[in-house]
Every structure is written in C-alpha cells, then in structure tokens.
Structure 1
Amino acid sequence: MSSAVLGARNLTGCEHRLALDFTERGDAAASDTSPEARRRIEAAQVHRDHVIATLHGFQSDRPSQDAVVVDGERHRDRVEQTRRAVEQRAAWIFQAALPTDVDHGRRGHAEALLRRGDGYLPVIVVNHRVTTLVSGERPADAPPPTLRTSPLWGWHPAVDATRSLRSQRRDVMRLAHLTTMLDDLGWSATDADERVGGLIGLDADCMVVVSLDAALAEYSTEFTRRHAIADGEIATEPRKVGECRSCHWWTRCEAQLADRHDVSLVVGGNQATVLMDAGITTFDQLASYRGDPPADWPAAVPFADAVVSAKCWVDDLPLARRLDRPRLRRADVEVDVDMESYSERGAYMWGTLLTDTTDPSLEVRYRPFVTWDPLPTLDEGRSFAEFWSWMSAERRKARAAGKTFAAYCYSQQAENRWLRGSADRFHGVVPGVPSRAEVDAFIGSKEWVDVFEAVGKNFVCPRGKGLKRIAPIAGFAWRDAEASGEASMEWYSAAVALDGADLDETQRARLLTYNEDDVRATKVLREWISSDDVLELPTVREILTHRGDD
C-alpha cells in the first residue's frame, strides 16, 4: 500500500518542493499560502464556477438525472453522488469527485465527466488561455491544422483552423492523471480509438480536444518517480528555478543554496544542469573556469556571461558593463509608460511620465489613464483610447516643433500584449481606439524603446534584470515597501471589489503611487545608463582579464 497520495498538481514543478511538502509536514511553512497564491486560487475558482454554470445551462433541456451537478461539504458525499451518476449513465457529471485511491496513491476531481460510448472522459477548466486565434489567411505551404475543438454544448470534435494551441504540460498531466483514475475505477471510455480529454481555458469559447495516448505513457513514468520522492525513497536537494519566486519554501532553500555557493543562483535551470554534469557546482568554480564551454551548453546563451555573473557574485558586484560607454536612445521629448493589468482580464491603467529635455523649466508630469470599473469592462477601452490619444498628440506636437520623440517601457512584452489586445478588442467599438495596424506601426518604430532590452544589451546582470532589481542600482527607491506586481493584484482586487471582495478605495491611491514609481524608476534608470556614473562599473573585459589576479 502506498503512503503518499498525490494530486495532479504534484506531478509538475519542483521536485524538491514536492519532497518538502510531503516529508516536512510538521513544519508550518509547508501549509503557508501566500496572498498571491490565494488570489490565483480564488480567481481560478470563480472562473471554474462560471464555466460549470454555463456548461450546465447548455444541458437545461435534459432530465436532471442526465446532467448532474455534484455538491456537498464532505468529500465522501461528493464521491457518492458522482458514483450514483456514473451508475445511472448520466451524460454530464459536473464537479465530479473521484474516490481517493489509497492503494495506488492518487486523488483527483474533474470539473466535468462527459459520457462517451461506454464510459467517461475528463473535462477540466483552467484559468489561463489555451488557444490563440489565428489571424489572416494560412500560407499555402503551411502544414494542415491539427488542433481539434468541440463546442461547449456537446462533444463534437472537429479540426479547427481558426485557433492554435497554447499547451501547458500541467494541464495534460492532470488529464492523464484523471484518465488513469477513471481506468482504475472502470469508468473510462474504453471503446474509443483514441484516449482524449477536454480542456476549457480562460476564454471558455470551446473545448480543446487533448490527445492523451502519448501523455499516458509519460504520466506513468512521472507518477512513479514523483510518488517515490513523496515517500522519501528518492532524495532531492534545492536548486533555483523559476518556481522559486512564489514558493513558500524559498527562504529555506535560498539559505542552503547561498551557504554552498550553488551555481543555480547564477544561471538558469538547464544551464545549471549542464554545469553540474560537468562538475561545476559552485559559482566560485564557475568564476575561475577557463576553457571551452561544457559540451551541452546552450548555444543561444553566451558562456562568458555565465562566468562574468559568477565573478560578480564572488566579488559582490551589482552589474558589469558590456560596453565602454552604454548606449540607449534618447529624445527631446520622452514619455515613460507603465501598464497595469489584472491576470488575463485586461489592462486597467496606463501610467505616463512626460519629460521635455529641451526645457528644464517644464514640469515632469505623471499622468495616469485608468478605469476603476472591475475588469473585464468596456470602460477599459475608454481609458486606453484616452492614453493613446494623449500620447499620439504629444508625438505630433514634438514633431511640429522639430523635436525628437521617444516612449519608454520596461519589458515591452507585457505592454505590447495589451497594446495589441486593446486594439483587437476595442477598435471600432470604443471611439479613439486605434487599429491593430496603427499599434503595430508604433511598436515597430524607433520611437518605442524597451529599457529592459537595453539593460540586457549593455550589462551582464548577475541577480536578474527586473526593474526592481536594477533601478535601485541607479539610486531609485519605491515609496511603498510592499510594492510588487503580485502585491498590486491584491490591491486591485480590493480597489474595485473584484469578485465579491471587500471594497477598499484607499487601494486605488496605493496603485497610482505604485504605477507612478514604476514610470519614475524607468526614467531614473535610463538616465543613469546615459550618465557618467555608470562608468564606475567594471567592464566584462576587465573582469575576464583580471579574474586570475585574486
């Protein structure tokens, strides 16, 4: 009999976190849930409830015993309701609870079980996008589309050329986990030519048909390993990965990694694996390394950057200059831009800071364009239109005066996403919203400058390139000690009473302060890059040349 019982969320992510969660149950940290994690959990539940209500509504013409909604406080009651619905061959079973399989060590639930032939396939609902709409005509030489979708009202899979898949491994593993549980219960659709599951994403406009034939084999191997880790049969140790930033064990793991000068503090996950396989386990070893990169080092990542980063860690240096004189495009009229969004729901604020470098007497003015209607809302289009109209007017005014213009953001990936997304959703619907072509022309112009990209071109950044990592090096400090993207989600939820949260309008002022500080941080950072102060940093060449002089 197994000791650990795994849910689908235990099948992906950090193995060391899994080990700690199962072997350190006495440690209170194991049950900590951060405010950001709680926000994601609550938002996901609201989305699931909405989608389940929609799916159930499509079945309103069926007898109640044919479209069953499982409910109840106790797990055993929900399991019994699910079992009865299966026995009566219900077409849809919503909020299905599967019995915990102690022998195999599995537990799970599905937002829906959908009858197919002599059994059921699982349908799950997730709070992120799982498809992207395909714009324009497909090239003549493009391979034929393979993505299959089904309408929400019934299982009618068909090839869908209008969408492309945004697959996430955790979704596929959850469907494989549930399918395996259904197999063990004898509830799965065994007469089908192909094992499949249904996936409904944030847009909730279709069910994606997920093929599980190959995934079930991968799942079996992964489950066996993960189960052994949870049972303490396979030892794990900490390593820094992207998941660490939101993990409740990070403080503990970070201290252990720092104590042993672990190389994963300096380089990314796959790079750390390559270095460790080559016997380079500490950043001291990496800092003193000479010779060719290890054989499997990823070609897209300059190995010299890793060595310089390690040397910066050893010598406690914040940055290293790639160039003797860092370069960043400047203009007569400069606008710093920072957008605030809430998950996938939309962008509720566009903050701006206008500087006319030709006239020091003019006020450097912060101006936000914001909606406080809870997202998603049509008023988002209104605030975006006002932002775009204002910025376009400043561009025209600068040109008419014979001045150059540039707008700056920190990491244009986020801003570009919502610039394009706002145009796609609101052009022709809300007055003043530009077309997608107008937005793309601006994004592709020299007047749109990504300071994050400039930081990467000008510096090796041993502790990351985030604005809150880099701007303090230039001398900037945020006024709110809790300022962060994750915290702003909590503030926004309260500021607009999102999804039934308690309204706290004081959080609106807090968000405005946070946004203003972000645009001012961008301004301070880019001006520092152009100043002589930056020349106090050592260059990459100097670090690599003199590292043997210690």
Structure 2
Amino acid sequence: MEVSDDLRRPPVSIEASALTRCRHRVFLDATFPHELAVAPENPGARQRQEAAAAHREAIRQKLFDADPDGWVLIGPDGSAARRAEQTLAACRSGADRIWGAVLPLEPDTGRRGRSEILLRDRVNGGYIPVVVVNHKVTDPGRGATTTGLFEWAPAVDETRKVRSQIRDQMRVAHLHRMLERHGLASPAQVAGAIGYGGDCVLVHDLSTILDDYDTRLADRVEIARGRVRTEPSQIGECRTCPWWDRCRSELTAGRDVSLVAPGQRAEVLRELGVRTIDGLAGWVGEPPEVWPQGPFEDAVVIAKAWLAGAPLVRRYRHVHVHRADIEVDVDMESYQEFGAYLWGTLLNGEAPSEYQPFVTWLPVPTDDEARSFAGFWRWLSDQRRTAERKGKTFAAYCYSRSAEDKWLLSSARRFHGFPGVPAEEEIKAFIGSPQWVDVYQAVTDQFVCPNGKGLKKIAPIAGHRWRDDEAGGEASMSWYRDAVGYDGPPDPTQRARLLEYNEDDVIATKILREWMSERAVQEIPHIDDL
C-alpha cells in the first residue's frame, strides 16, 4: 500500500501491545485511525477484555483486602494526563504500592503505557512494574523465579517453570523504560506479572529482554510514523484483525503465497523467490533446507488445491476411520480456565441417535461441576459396559481431543472424593485405549486441508450445518456469561442456545466420520488427481 509523502498523521503513540502485533497492522492502525474507530467490534476480543477486567478487579480486591491502608489508588476517572500526574506525585512521595498507575505520554519516543501495580523497591530504590494478566504465566515444573503476592521477596520456585509470554515481557520492559525517563525505575531491572490463578508473582529479569524491546519499539514507531513500508501477509493474528477483509482482498488479487503458507512459511518462500501461490504449486526440486511447520510437500499440495478450488485433498486411495457397533460422540464446553460446565453426548447404536447433555448452570468454578462430570462419566461407563455385555464393540469420538483430555484429567483431580467422580487412573486408562477416537487426528492423517482442520471448516464439506449462524467457540463464551448471569440475571434462552450449539457439534462429528467411511473417496480428489 503506497503512502503519500504529505499524508498528515495525528501524533503517534503506541502501547506495548504493538510490539508483538503484525507490523502491517501497526501501519494501518496509525494511518487510518478513523476507519479503525468505526470497525465492527470482534465479539471474542470484547469477551476477552471483559474477562481480563474482571480478573484485574478480583486481584485488586484481594490485595486491598489484605492491606487496605498500604495502597495508593489511581482511580479510573479523569484524563490520562491527570492520572499520570497523580501517579508521579505518588511515586515522588515515596508510596510503597500504587494501583492503577498511568505513566506520562512520551511524544518523542512514541510510548504510552499503564501498569496495574508499581511497587517501591525498598532495597535499591525506584519502582518495579507489575502487570496483571488473564492468562497463565507459569506451568508446573521448576526454575521460575517468583514471589508472593503480599511481599516482594523473589526466589527460585521448585514447583513452577516459566510459561513464555513475549507480550508480557515487552509490556514490562516498556513500563521500565517509561519509569527510567523520570528517574523512577528500580536499578535491579526486574518486573512482575500476576497471571491466571493469582497466587504468585512471576519475576521477569529485564536485563535479558531490554535490547530486544528497544529494537522492536524503534521498528514499530518508524512504521507508525510512515517511515517504513509494510505489506500484508497472512498470519494467525489475521482471523481477529479488524483489517483482515482489506488485507485478504489485496493478497487474493496478488495470489500471495501467504494465503496457503501463512506465517514464517511465507517468509521462507519469499526469501527463495517464491511470492505467489502459482510459484509454490509449480515447485520443482528439493524442499527448502529449513521449513518451519509441517511437511513441505503438503504446502505444495495446498497451493495446487487452492488453484483447483478443492476444499480437501486425499493423501491415500482409501479413507479409514475406526468404527464400532455402539458409538458415542462427545463434546465438552468450558469457560476459559475456570471449568468445564457441559459434557454433551450423542449415542448411536441400536436405537435412533439420542443427545444427552450433562451440565451445570452455576458459574464455574463450582463444586457442582463434580455432579455434572460424575453424571457424564457414569453414563459413558454404562454404555461401555452395556456394549461389552452384549458382545458388541464400543468407541467414543471427539474432535481434537486435547481439550477433552485436559478437562477429563483435571476434573478427576479437582473433584477427587466427590460421589461418582472416577480416579485419575481410570481416566488415563480410558483415554489411552482404542475406544477413545480423535476424528481430528483421522482427518489430519488422511487429508491435506487447504482451509484449516477445525470442525467448522471440515464438517460442512461432509454436509453438516450448524443451526446458529454465530456458532463458534468465542461466541459461546459470551453466551455462557449471559446463561449463568455473570453480568445480570441468568438468561434461559442463552442456555438453550449453548445446548443446541453443543448438540450440533456432536452431530457434526458423527456426520464427519460417517462421510469419511462412506463418501469421501468419491467426493474428494486424491493428491495425484491434482
């Protein structure tokens, strides 16, 4: 996209989020702010923002309840400039702990930023920025440096390892540099992040990331000021970007290679002189020495499929998916990391298919999950035993088992000892058996999927349609908040909507595996056919 030399831009300032964002998006955000302001709001982004705000408030309340007189609160009212004045005044008065800090805008560097917490470094002087985020910052393991919520005393944690979050690192580095400008940064060059769970503070060593931060900031500021040219290229971020329709149109017109080989794969291909889908489809010779993701041969097939308009391509002459006399489809619904509130099942056997949900409508996390989970497991075990007693084979199916496996195991651990809840070993035995079948894996093994392998992408090829046009994982999060009454009285219509959505998901899995067994060979071209 060409930018005229006399294009008038408003003063440019960026938050740390721009440092891990698509470079072309940074350009578009800065160049067309009025279009961005009227762009349709992404429901998933809004839901994540609301959940993050609720998490921040829960952490604030927890900290203030523990020490109500130990904090200076910078309230949300008033202009950013006014709140920045209040923040600097609190720092210069020697406040130990500040909540809601806003740092002064820096027109020359382009920085703007805010920190949920500033902690006075009682040993070295200055302030330590601590951010509150609604995602995990550690995993079980060892070696992370953490400190408690109520006292800054960093130490190596033998129970946690760091979960890499570059966006958090860039944000705390951004805040440290802004504090430095006013002589208020701790010389220890450390920062903190309180993540999902809110039971500790992960300590970041800023000395290892400041150089990377400075390079990223300089790059993004130059882009935002129109001094560096950028071009669109498809990456994972595109699916939720307000500019995607514009970029997709431009990429399609140029038959850009990133449409079939997004992300780093497109970068590798461009370095080799392959910039179009046609160029990739016509590849001759050995594959690139370095290829970031998946077999390179699949990328060539996807390019050929794009040119041919084929939604799927068979790898083999025959298509196989494990089948049984008694079949059960399973789909779980969870709300972020708080809990699994719904286990939906579809029984297919001697009688007509029957949908059976096991659900709690108390907001998760709740012990009532134990009841619904136990009910689901009891029912599933009954179907397995019935099949065995009748001398029939049994299989349970899901689509992309990682989420189901996670919540099966964590529910057994969390609710150990509740009536009907199975032992973790019983869950492990089931998910490790041939009776637990991942249809996603069967699709991955036997098809090349030009448009993605999600259930919403693949099941329509087999003829399935969801009744709700808005059906999807992100939309269901908003429905759930209304269904259980997070923001007002519980809405029964949204409960019905979630059950219908879950039922359609299990039906989709059934239709997909039946299609694979019966019609896929006739309807989907083989690789050699391209």
**TM-based fold match above 0.5:** yes
Q: Within 2, Cα distance between the matches of 1:382 and 1:45?
A: 30
The 1-side partners of 2:116 and 2:449 are apart by 44
1:371, CA displacement in angstroms? 0.8
In the superposition, relative to structure 1, how do residues 45 and 484 fare at CA in structure 2: closer, same or farther (>3 Å)? same
Q: 1:502: Cα distance to partner?
A: 5.4
SS in 2 for 1:154: coil
Aligned to 1:397: 386
Q: Residue type of the partner of 2:372?
A: S
What is the deviation of 1:501? 4.2
Q: CA deviation at 1:504?
A: 2.2
Match of 1:111 in 2: 116
Change in CA separation of 1:439 and 1:166 when aligned onto 2, cut-off 3 Å = same
CA distance in 1 between counterparts of 2:203 and 2:491 reads 42
Matched, 1:469 2:457: yes
1:95, distance to aligned residue in structure 2 (A) = 1.1
Structure 1 match to 2:158: 161
Matched AA of 2:151: G
Match of 1:11 among 7, 13, 19: 19
Give the Cα separation in 2 of the matches to 1:82 and 1:31.
33
Asked whether the equivalents of residues 15 and 112 of structure 2 are also in contact (C-alpha less than 8 Å), the reply is yes
Cα deviation, 1:204-255, whole Å, max 9, x if unaligned, reads 0101111111111100000000111111111111111111111111111111
The verdict on how the C-alpha distance between 1:37 and 1:501 changes in structure 2, with shifts beyond 3 A counting, is farther
Give the corresponding residue for 2:77: 73
Asked if residue 367 in structure 1 is aligned to residue 360 in structure 2, the reply is no
- Is the CA contact 2:76–2:100 (under 8 Å) kept in the aligned structure 1? no
8 Å contact from structure 2 (residues 346, 356) kept in 1: yes
8 Å CA contact retained: 1:200, 1:207? yes
Given the alignment, which residue of 250, 260, 269 partners 1:256? 250
Q: Distance in 2 between matches of 1:28 and 1:214?
A: 35
**Shift in CA distance, 72/354, structure 1 to aligned 2, threshold 3 Å:** closer
The number of residues matched between the two structures is: 519
Which of these residues, 463, 479, 483, is aligned with residue 467 of structure 2? 479
Q: Following the alignment from structure 2 to structure 1, what is the Cα–Cα distance between the partners of residues 356 and 26? A: 46
Counterpart code for 2:136 = R
Question: Considering only aligned residues, what root-mean-square deviation do their CA atoms show, in Å?
Answer: 1.6
1:27 aligned counterpart, secondary structure: helix
Alpha-carbon offset, residue 487 of structure 1: 1.2
Q: For residue 264 of structure 2, what is the amino acid of its counterpart?
A: N
Q: Is the 8 A contact 1:21 1:30 kept in 2?
A: no
Q: Is contact 2:233–2:262 with CA below 8 Å preserved after alignment?
A: no
Alignment of structure 1 residues 172-187 onto 2, 5 Å: 172-187=169-184
TM-score w.r.t. length of structure 2: 0.95
Which residue pairs with 1:133 in the alignment? 140
CA contact (8 A) 1:11 1:222 kept: yes
Instruction: Name the structure 2 match of 1:531.
Output: 518
The reply on whether 1:412 has 2:401 as its aligned counterpart is yes
Q: Paired residue for 2:7?
A: none
* Unmatched runs of 5 consecutive residues or more in structure 1: 135-144, 544-550
**Where does residue 448 of structure 2 map in the other structure?**
460
CA distance 1:132–1:424, shift in 2 (3 Å): farther
**Among candidates 310, 314, 338, match of residue 321 of structure 1:** 314
Instruction: Give the counterpart letter for 2:361 in structure 1.
Output: W
1:383 aligned onto 2:372? yes
Give how far 1:123 is off.
0.4
Q: 2:500 pairs with 513, 520, 544, which one? A: 513
Q: For each residue in 1:28-51, what CA deviation from the matched residue of structure 2 results, as whole angstroms up to 9, or x when unmatched?
A: 566542121111111100100110
Q: Secondary structure of the equivalent of 2:221? A: helix
String of CA shifts for 1:37-91, please: whole Å, max 9, x gaps: 111111100100110121222223xxx4x52111141123322221221112111
Residue 210 (1) aligns with residue 218 (2): no
For residues 217 and 414 of structure 1, what CA distance do their matches in structure 2 show? 37
Give the superposition deviation at 1:355: 0.6
For 2:33 and 2:472, the matched residues in 1 are separated by 30
CA distance in 1 between counterparts of 2:165 and 2:240 reads: 18
Tell me the equivalent position of 2:131: 124
CA distance in 2, matches of 1:14, 1:25: 16
Contact 2:328–2:396 at 8 Å: present in 1 too? yes
After TM superposition, give the deviation of residue 458 of structure 1 in Å: 0.7
1:307 aligns with 2:314: no
Segment drifting more, 455-464 vs 5-14:
5-14
Provide the rounded CA distance (Å) in 2 between the counterparts of 1:339 and 1:16.
37
Task: Name 1:141's counterpart in structure 2.
Answer: none
Superimposed CA distance per residue, residues 376-435 of structure 1 (whole angstroms, 9 cap, x where no aligned partner): 21111211111111111111111121111111100011111111221121112x211222
State the partner residue of 2:191.
197
Asked if the contact 1:337/1:407 (under 8 Å) is kept, the reply is yes
Could you tell me which residue of structure 1 aligns to residue 325 of structure 2? Answer: 332
1:354: how far off?
Answer: 0.6
Q: Is the 8 A contact 1:30 1:248 kept in 2?
A: no
Contact conserved, 1:528 with 1:534, CA < 8 A, in 2? no
Single out whichever of 365-374 and 81-90 deviates more from structure 2.
Answer: 81-90
SS at match of 2:288: coil
Letter of the aligned partner of 2:43 in structure 1? P
Per-residue CA shift, 1:268-327, capped at 9, x if unaligned?
3111111111111111111122111123224x6222111111111001011111111111
Counterpart position of 1:547: none
Once residues 436 and 125 of structure 1 are traced to their aligned partners in structure 2, the CA distance between those partners, rounded to angstroms, is 32
Match of 2:3 in 1: none
Residue 344 of structure 1 corresponds to 337
Task: Tell me the distance in 2 between the aligned counterparts of 1:167 and 1:501.
Answer: 36
AA aligned to 1:473 is: I
Task: Output the CA distance in 1 between the equivalents of 2:74 and 2:36.
Answer: 33
Q: Is the 8 A contact 2:113 2:175 kept in 1?
A: yes
Alpha-carbon contact 2:129-2:192 (below 8 Å) kept:
yes
Counterpart in 2 of 1:88? 93
CA distance in 2 between partners of 1:106 and 1:32 (Å): 26
Quick one: which of 232, 236, 241 aligns to 1:242?
236
2:36 and 2:242 in contact (8 A); partners too: no
Structure 1 counterpart of 2:48, one-letter code:
R
Secondary structure in 2 matching 1:296: coil
Q: What is residue 488 of structure 1 aligned with on the other side? A: 476
